[in-house]
Each structure stands twice: as C-alpha cells, then as structure tokens.
Structure 1
C-alpha cells in the first residue's frame, strides 16, 4: 500500500499467508520455546503455534477496511520473488532446502524444521515466502518509480530473523534485507535506512549488513541482558558493525519489559533521528513488527497504537518521504491491527492523534540510550560533543539476578515466572482497553489540510494545490472581537487587516475545518497575543508558541497555559529561562542547516513533554533561522496537537511562504538543506538548557545523570 503523489491513496502490497492452510497451517501448528530464558523454566511442548497465524493478516486487513483506509489506497499487484532476487541475500543451498519442502510429508517437514530455531515448514511455505518477497519488492518499485510516495506490505511469513543459510524465528526469507540489496542494485542507491521496531532483534538483517556502510540498520528490541530470544551477545548496544560498517549498526537493547510511548520516542529523539538526518538516506525500509505494542504476549511492552503513527511521521521527513513498511511480528490481533491502521493513516498524511501517557522515559530506557550514544559517538558528528560514557552497572541487573534466583529455587513454576505465555484474561483486558482508547484518540479528517491568508507578494497559484486561500471574515464580527481585545486597534486599518488574516485561519483550525494554516501579519506580536486570547476563549488549555526572531510578547506565563519558546540571535537574560518561557540563542551556519541538533535534542522533547492543544509558530523580524530550518521545525512539530499548527509570518518572502505551505500541506517533503553539525557554542546552549529544564521537561533526559538530577 502506498500513498500517491497527489495524496489521494496508498499502494497496497499484500502477499503470503492469507489462506488458512498456508504457512503454519491451523491443523498443524507447532511452537518452540521463544521467550524469557532467564527464568530457566521451559514451556511445556505444544503441538500448536498459537501466535503466528493467518488471522494476523486477515484481522489487519479487516480493520483497514473498517476505517475506510483500503479504498484510499492504490493496490500494488503482488508477484512471487524470483530465485535470483532471493539469492541477493540467501545461499543457493538454503534456497533448495526451502524449495524441497513443497513435496514433503509431515514427518519430513518436522525433521527439516528441527534444523532451525522456531520455524515450521508446510508444503505451502515456499510459495508464501516467495510472495512475501515479491510483494515487498513490488512496493519498493512503486515507491522508487514515483507511482506512489510510500506504502506498506502486509506479508507472511516475516523475515528479519532469517539468515543467509538458515530460517529462524518464524522467518524464511529476509524480505527487508532482500529489498535493500534489490534497491541498491536496481536503482543505484547508496544510502538506505532500515528501521526495525519489532520487539525481537532482527539479527538476520544485522548479519547481512554489518560490514556495509551503505545501509544504516537501527533496531530496538527486548534484550534483558541477553536473556531474551534470540539470546545473542551481538544484540547489545556495543555491536556497532564491522570493518567499513562500523557505526552503521545501532542496537537499542531494552533490559526490562513495560517500555512504552515515551521510551520509544526518547530513543528516536536522542539516537535514531540525529544519526538518520546526518546519514541522509535515499530510501527507508521499516521492519514493521508490532509485538512491541501493548498487549503482545511476546513483547510485554505498553506502547499504544498511535505511537507507531508518530514514529512513522518522523521517518516520513527523511528520504523525501520514501518509506516502505513491511510487516514483521505482532501477535495480539487487536493491538496489531490497530497499529497497522495507525501506520497506514500516517502514510496517507492524516493528522496524528495526540499521544497518550506521561512523557517521561524510564531509567532503564535512559541507560540504554546513553550506552548507544556512547558507543556511536566516534562515528557520528551529531554526537561528537556529547559527554556520553558507557554504563556497565545497569539498574536492571541486580533485579534480574534476584528474579533468576527465585525462579531457580522454585520447584513449581507459576504462570508469572514463565514470561511470554499468553494470558487470555490479559488479552481480553487489552481488547477492551483498545476498543475504548481508539474511540478517544480518533477523529474525523478535516476536508482541507491547510488554509492560507497571504495577501502580499505571494499569489495563490504559487502555493501548493492543496492549500486553500481563505476569504475575508465578516467585518462587523471581526471588529466586535477586536474591540473586546483592544478598542484602539479597530481604528488602525493595517493592524485590523493583520488580525483578520490570522483570525480567519485560526478559526478554521479551532473548529477543525482545516488541520493547519499560514497567515501574514504586519504586526505579528499583536496578532499572536490576540490569537492566544482567542484560543483560550475557545476552551484550549495548552498552547505552544514558538517565536523565531526578535519579538517581545507581553504574556502571562505563570499558569502553564502558554509555553513560550523564543529562538533568537540576541542574548537574553538568565531570568527569562523558566519552565514556560525558554530563550534559545542560536547561531546559524550560513548555507547549511545546523538546526537539527536543536529541534531533535531540545525542541521536540520539550514539546512532547508539554503536549499542547495547538501550536503557533511566529516568524518575526531579524530571524535567526533560514528557510530550511523553519521548514524542518514546522514538519517535525506536526505530530503534536492533532497536527494543529498556525504559522504567522511578519516579513513575507515568497520562498519562505512556499516552503512553509509545502511543509504544512504535506504535498511533498520540503528540502531541509545540507546537514551540518551544530557549532560547539550552539551545543553548549542546548546543554545549558537541558541541565536547567530537564526536571520540568522529562523527555530531555538522555543520560542517567540527567535522569537522577531530574528526580
């Protein structure tokens, strides 16, 4: 499935495992131990596999239809992968073994299956696995040829564990690894990013590319100090790659269960996104496993479905939006299907739902983040000023040892000790929670994405087609509103016109008739103050206001209804930096964009900690940021406040207006310009603000020192 260039649909790639008698047939399912090895308790042998089932695809597809997402997608025809394509990753000997299973009886299939870890062959396995490969490659072709912008392939069997000569962990052919090799060979790509958010480590992908600097592989996974499957030392944070590939393998090991939305976002902000923007990928492949979501019996994590929407949104700001998501794991059907839908909605550029839960990563997550940053500091400019040192005495180790001792001395293991077993009561509770939760976070998509009120220099035809130009408000209604705010302003025609522009767009946003908008104002400070008052009269509780340039706003910031962030050139006094009034002094790198550090390492973590109902970005005089940096800021902030953003521009310039309109409308990803690492003085400014504010805004924490000082 993929979104078209016009934003109208998504290309759909589905293949493998739709029929009940295909891979892991219902009548002959088996399962080997695949879970928490620290418990030293083996599961009872079972003749059936109760998790990697055809219903995984069927339930996901049905939920997509329920949300009317399938009809908005472009169907990408599915074909079988060829033997030549499969051998881009796998050996001919292994291919012949898999091919031979087509004619085997049950006993022969059992013997072949026992040669591998947690893989069970059926006579239909080979064809389904080839369809999974072919569907993935068809999606890559559709995206790279420009037929669609992005897409998702719902396939079985999954692939990220399979290796050159071995099936592994339900995986037969490594769909994503084959796709990366295929894209390099067919399209001459030199930089491919693979993001693996499955809860298990995709060691198969790591092995293929660990010496290859053209592929950046990122994986977070349940690890628990090598006590969780696949039980590999090379799944830890210090496995950074080999030879020329050093620095191009990023493992974020989760050493405890229960990781949730804030932990996943923190890993993106402080590890993946800085490195990815520096890497500048030409294509993004997602090993899209949803066993890292809430309720999954394998993962035992707590991330809710909308978290995957936010992760997808961030990835879409890279590689000109060329994202191919390929299904891997996910074994709680309701959690899986809702998470798939959230991913597809985001690929279609629907506004994002507000993310749930407290925005504060746990200590164990921060430990892992610090270790990854320390391990990769020698390889990436974005980390070169960091004071990251590896931690060896982690907080989870002593707890884990005590649990292991308790289990080993017990003669009758309880259900709690056998981590990973399915609890039907818990599954039902998760179903009920998700049913209620999705009703709370989902909302109708506005008929228009972006509204504009720009009257000088920029003609309407210069804006993206999807941008709607607003007409004037009723003059009497406007004067009534303005009089209540400041009676003198009614007499000033220039100010009244500016307020009219801003209010025309803001009103549409507040009433959810549009997602976002852009307005010109010759008196931006007055217009912004007026807009904020209008927001609170409308009933909003929290507004994030980011001012770019020199501008003084007389606002009451004590009650927390406004978080004011000023990005400026002039030095501000120390007293201006408080929880709700932050001054970021920034020196821009002429000709290149060095603002990535500030957006990813500071602005986004603070904004996600605050969780605003609306965002206002004000671009005033003497701005310290160029067009590319402002576009980056505008794009990345759209994950917040149900994507509701108002951009107010004082000094209208054509290039700036066009770039911001492009960023808001999502017609295509704006050019953020060449990446540049932050100047040391800029980094020190970020560090100063982090040290000062991390207790208030907990998503800023990326080291244990930060975490401890903030508690």
Structure 2
C-alpha cells in the first residue's frame, strides 16, 4: 500500500470566456503546473494513479440542495452571455459549459480517494482537482468553488467508514471470542495462557483483532491479565502474520522483548520503550529508553517513533502496555492516538486488566476520535534522553529515509 494520485484531464477544460480580473486566476494552469511539478520530481510515478470519476447527483445531495444541483446541470446548454449573467449572481465565480461535468469530477475524485483509503488499497493520497470547492455553500457557488468537494467526501466517508470499536475484554460477550479449539492451539506453547481467565481474555482480544483485520471495525482496546500480556502479544503477532499481514508495527512499552519465534524478516517493526536500554540490533528491532519528562516523551515520539511508523506504512499497529510499563496515562493515550494515522486507523491496544478505569476510558475515547487528555506542565528533555534519541537516529538513519531529516538539537 502506498499513495494514490487522482486526476482527470477534463478538469483542465473550463476557462474564463470573458474579461474578469477577479476570476482570471482560476485557470487550467493551476492544475497542469501542479501535475508537472509532481512529474519533474518523480513523484507521480511513485503513486497509484487513479482516473477521477463523476460524483453522482445523489452523492452531491449529501451536501447540496437538489435545486442547486439542477441549476448547475442546466449550465451545460447555456451560451456565453447566459453563463456570464448567471455567474454575476455569485461572488467571484464563473461558469463554463463544462463546469458541471468538471465539478462532478472534482467531487468524484475526492470520493475515489476516500474509497481507496477505506478499502486499504492505499494509505493516503492526493486529488488534483478543479474547480475547487471549499467556499461553496449548500445552494450557492462562491470564490471559484462550485461543489464542496471536501464536505461531500466527509459525508460520504461517514456513511462508509467502519465503526471504531473500543472494548474492555470484560465487556465482550463470551460468544464473541475466537473458536475454542483454535484458541487452545494458539495458546498451547504458552504456560501463562493455561488459566481459563487468561485464555478467555485472549480469545476476546483475538476476536477483536480479527475484526480490525477484516475491516469490520477500525480500532480496538482489549484487556488481558498482567501475567499473560507477553504471551498474548506473541499470539497476536503470530496470528496477524499468519492471516496475511505484510507490515505489522508493534510498540511495546515495558519489559516486553520481541518473542523469540518472531522472524526479523521486515514484516514486523518492533519498537520497545523500556528502562534505560538503547539498542538497534536491526532496522526492524529497536529498544529505546522510557523518557521521564514531557519533552523527552514528545521528542521520542515525534523524532523517532512516528518517522519509523510512517516510513514502515504498517497494515496494523499493536500498542502494548506491559506490566509496570511506567508510561503516564496521558502519554500512553497520545501514543496510541498518534499511531492511528500511519496505520490507517487500524490500531489494537493491549492493556492489563488491572489498568485503571481512567486509562482504559481515555484510550477508548481517543480510539473513537476524541482528543487525548492534556500532558500537563511541560518539562524539557533530559540530556540522557536526547543522547539516546540522537544515537538511535544515527544508527537507523541510513536505512530509514524519514530519519535522514534534520535531527532535534
């Protein structure tokens, strides 16, 4: 999965047919220049190229009134004088016989991008469109804008987005656990999973994990007994990989070494935030210290964790808060929230059943899209934290492009 580029040459057709200094800047070159710049930099070739489709009138109706859509449809048959007269009724807008077609392409390009991201075909994308849309209103064009492309895409996404699910294991019904025989097979190598309570919690976590991978839900929160966290993590990783995950990001906070059977083959990026250990035995295995200050935590996340996550482009992210992990609740919540973007929204957080209701509640709210809690008073990163961060960036930089940017001072 990569980045999509959505475009259609027809969107270069509309142009101003009369003199109007205010509107002449909305010209085809706004689009062709941007596309040529992408080509010169070799970026177009690196994208999944999609040809824009027209948004249907029903889709436009998610935001715009039927009367306004009908009015725009009628511009296709108007002569220049009639187009100029209609344009004068709005603020800084001109109409062309192809405006209706191209405005539908502009909105449809945004919808194609939504579909591509939601289906997992790409992680993100760019739609090059004209006419623009952000000034248009429900029943009025404005500021060169005809249909509100972003608003239409947002409403369309709300109708098609998998519902986020954030549940404590105790809140999941027993029948929603993974099949018992299959569950026992996964748990058999782990002594910590022999207890019925641990096995039941694992089954519910795996059921939630299956839902995320199948895109039935976008994210989730599962709680397992503290002694079973490491074993549950091992099973979750192996299950994801066995079900076809190509890139799996795991951010483990606490004393949680990579499972011995986990291959270092590039399919799993394992970041362990723990104690004072600083190590990068491979480009996919990193141990970093647990920052004690707000500045140290933010530096670690923004200058190391997120560049690695965006560079890796994971199919799914696992965030695991192990026993005595030491990460303050607001920081744990922010970490999980920030990893949603590089993982395409697909995040499973594993916590101990003994975690506080405040932590699990804040994690659930963040996974559902609410703002994370405040980190509190700011304190700068310690010299030790900065030395560790700069060391890891130096070790990993030659192999991760996003770490080759300027390092924090």
TM-score, normalised to structure 1's length? 0.38
Kindly indicate whether residue 91 of structure 2 is the aligned counterpart of residue 128 of structure 1: yes
Is there any run of 5+ residues in structure 1 with no aligned partner, and where?
1-20, 35-47, 54-61, 76-120, 130-155, 158-303, 310-324, 329-335, 352-442, 456-468, 705-711
Q: Deviations over 1:657-695 (max 9, x none)?
A: 1111111111x2122324444333222222111110011
3-state DSSP class of the match of 1:616?
A: strand
Kindly indicate whether residue 391 of structure 2 is the aligned counterpart of residue 700 of structure 1: no
Q: How far off is 1:477 after superposition?
A: 1.7
Is there any run of 5+ residues in structure 2 with no aligned partner, and where?
1-13, 32-52, 66-83, 95-121, 128-132, 137-143
Match for residue 266 of structure 1?
Answer: none
Which residue of 439, 444, 454 maps to 2:169? 454
Give the conservation status (yes or no) of the 8 Å contact 1:525–1:553: no
Kindly indicate whether residue 386 of structure 2 is the aligned counterpart of residue 687 of structure 1: no
Alignment partners' CA distance in 2, 1:49 and 1:663? 42
Alignment partners' CA distance in 2, 1:549 and 1:699? 26
Which residue of 306, 327, 338 maps to 2:124? 306
- Decide whether aligned partners of structure 1 residues 640 and 587 sit closer, same or farther in structure 2, where only a CA change above 3 A counts: closer
- Decide whether aligned partners of structure 1 residues 507 and 327 sit closer, same or farther in structure 2, where only a CA change above 3 A counts: same
Match for residue 300 of structure 1?
Answer: none
Give the conservation status (yes or no) of the 8 Å contact 1:631–1:672: no
Kindly indicate whether residue 173 of structure 2 is the aligned counterpart of residue 471 of structure 1: yes
Match for residue 601 of structure 1?
Answer: 303
Kindly indicate whether residue 186 of structure 2 is the aligned counterpart of residue 505 of structure 1: no
Aligned residues: 308
- Decide whether aligned partners of structure 1 residues 63 and 618 sit closer, same or farther in structure 2, where only a CA change above 3 A counts: farther
Alignment partners' CA distance in 1, 2:157 and 2:330? 23
Q: How far off is 1:637 after superposition?
A: 1.3
Alignment partners' CA distance in 1, 2:268 and 2:200? 25
Alignment partners' CA distance in 2, 1:74 and 1:550? 54
Match for residue 585 of structure 1?
Answer: 289
3-state DSSP class of the match of 1:638?
A: coil
Q: How far off is 1:508 after superposition?
A: 1.1
3-state DSSP class of the match of 2:344?
A: helix
- Decide whether aligned partners of structure 1 residues 701 and 477 sit closer, same or farther in structure 2, where only a CA change above 3 A counts: same
Kindly indicate whether residue 361 of structure 2 is the aligned counterpart of residue 658 of structure 1: yes
Give the conservation status (yes or no) of the 8 Å contact 2:308–2:403: yes
Kindly indicate whether residue 266 of structure 2 is the aligned counterpart of residue 563 of structure 1: no
1:64-463 alignment to 2 at 5 Å?
68=59, 71=62, 128-129=91-92, 306-307=124-125, 326=134, 345=153, 444-446=160-162, 448-455=163-170
Alignment partners' CA distance in 2, 1:631 and 1:543? 20
Give the conservation status (yes or no) of the 8 Å contact 1:587–1:624: no
Q: What value does the CA root-mean-square deviation take over the aligned residues?
A: 4.2
Q: How far off is 1:598 after superposition?
A: 1.7
Which residue of 536, 543, 557 maps to 2:241? 536
Alignment partners' CA distance in 2, 1:63 and 1:663? 35
Alignment partners' CA distance in 2, 1:453 and 1:610? 29
Give the conservation status (yes or no) of the 8 Å contact 2:296–2:385: no
Give the conservation status (yes or no) of the 8 Å contact 1:64–1:341: no
Give the conservation status (yes or no) of the 8 Å contact 1:308–1:343: no
Give the conservation status (yes or no) of the 8 Å contact 1:593–1:628: no
- Decide whether aligned partners of structure 1 residues 499 and 65 sit closer, same or farther in structure 2, where only a CA change above 3 A counts: same
Q: How far off is 1:577 after superposition?
A: 3.6
- Decide whether aligned partners of structure 1 residues 687 and 52 sit closer, same or farther in structure 2, where only a CA change above 3 A counts: closer
Give the conservation status (yes or no) of the 8 Å contact 2:322–2:351: yes
3-state DSSP class of the match of 1:532?
A: helix
TM-score, normalised to structure 2's length? 0.63
Kindly indicate whether residue 238 of structure 2 is the aligned counterpart of residue 526 of structure 1: no
3-state DSSP class of the match of 1:520?
A: strand
3-state DSSP class of the match of 1:660?
A: helix
Q: Deviations over 1:6-35 (max 9, x none)?
A: xxxxxxxxxxxxxxx9xx84344679999x
Match for residue 348 of structure 2?
Answer: 646
Give the conservation status (yes or no) of the 8 Å contact 1:63–1:341: no
